[in-house]
């Protein structure tokens, strides 16, 4: 698991721009593998050339957490760690408080699949906190919750404990308190100089929402009226799938 005190562990992963195909980012799956597969079909996803990046929270609250964990075995799927993966890793390491919290937040599925949790716990612990794709004006970042760091600070990979907690759990931006962290709030929005477009989940929004450099794409796939959202950073095109659409398909 990345050093939660911000030590020498590599907790950011870099990818070059995709010269062969397309890149996509998908919101919090929360066990909804069928919705994800529907989005892949609708976008014409080509696993030979395209790449899928995930904002984390693959597991819990939905019907197929094991199936979503298995995506980590595919060569075209790349995820950051979400707070639910963090809970899983800590719970399976024997932390009783984390286990109770995980169970109370959808981790009860693991009791029926002990072999799955055991198989994937090391992969979950090894997930980066940040993914950076490309360079220059076309660069984009993927992380779970939020950050007030710049690209350069993210790239350095030496995060304080508070920065790590914010990457996994933060909701200051979505709650409108970015100015408390030294960000300039203008008529056009919240300015975040030095931070490329950054795709995040964690906080449920009704539709894709941009605040500063952050693009929030968790539209609540685990909710009865929720949807799973996927976006193509290069074009800004958005795909969504709901439980009702999946039943009708």
Give domain status of residue 101, yes or no: yes
Give domain status of residue 65, yes or no: yes
Query: Which tokens is 245 given?
Result: 């659409």
Mean pLDDT of 19-26: 98
Indicate the number of domains in the chain.
Answer: 1
Give domain status of residue 186, yes or no: no
Mean pLDDT of 164-181: 82
Give domain status of residue 201, yes or no: no
Q: Could you tell me the residue range of the domain that residue 158 belongs to?
A: 12-174+206-248
Q: What is the pLDDT of residue 183?
A: 59
CATH number of domain containing 61? 3.60.21.10
pLDDT band, very low/low/confident/very high, at 221 (cuts 50, 70, 90): very high
Give domain status of residue 190, yes or no: no
- Give yes or no for residue 78 having a pLDDT over 80: yes
Q: How far is CA 10 from CA 170, 189, 201, in A?
A: 21, 32, 22
From 76-80, 115-119, 195-199, 243-247, the region with the lowest mean pLDDT: 243-247
pLDDT tens figures, 188-213: 556 688 999 999 999 999 999 999 89
Give domain status of residue 4, yes or no: no
Look up the pTM and report it: 0.91
| Contact (CB, 8 A) for 80 and 127 | yes
Q: How far apart are CA 180 and CA 170, in angstroms?
A: 13
């Amino acid at each position: 698991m990345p050093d939660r005190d911000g030590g020498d562990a590599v907790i950011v992963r870099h990818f070059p721009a995709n010269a062969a195909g397309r890149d996509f980012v998908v919101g919090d799956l929360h066990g909804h593998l069928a919705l994800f597969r529907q989005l892949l079909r609708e976008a014409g996803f080509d696993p030979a050339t395209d790449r899928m990046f995930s904002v984390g929270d693959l597991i819990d609250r939905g019907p197929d957490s094991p199936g979503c964990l298995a995506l980590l075995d595919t060569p075209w799927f790349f995820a950051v760690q979400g707070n639910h993966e963090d809970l899983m890793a800590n719970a399976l390491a024997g932390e009783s408080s984390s286990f109770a919290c995980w169970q109370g937040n959808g981790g009860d599925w693991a009791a029926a699949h002990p072999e799955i949790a055991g198989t994937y716990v090391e992969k979950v612990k090894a997930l980066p906190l940040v993914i950076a794709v490309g360079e220059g004006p076309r660069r984009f970042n993927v992380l779970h919750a939020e950050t007030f760091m710049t690209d350069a600070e993210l790239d350095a990979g030496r995060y304080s404990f508070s920065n790590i907690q914010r990457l996994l759990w933060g909701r200051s931006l979505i709650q409108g308190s970015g100015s408390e962290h030294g960000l300039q709030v203008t008529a056009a929005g919240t300015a975040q100089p030095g931070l490329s477009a950054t795709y995040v989940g964690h906080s449920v929004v009704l539709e894709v929402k941009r605040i500063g450099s952050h693009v929030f794409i968790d539209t609540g796939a685990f909710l009865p009226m929720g949807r799973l959202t996927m976006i193509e950073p290069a074009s800004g095109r958005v795909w969504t799938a709901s439980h009702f659409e999946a039943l009708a398909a």
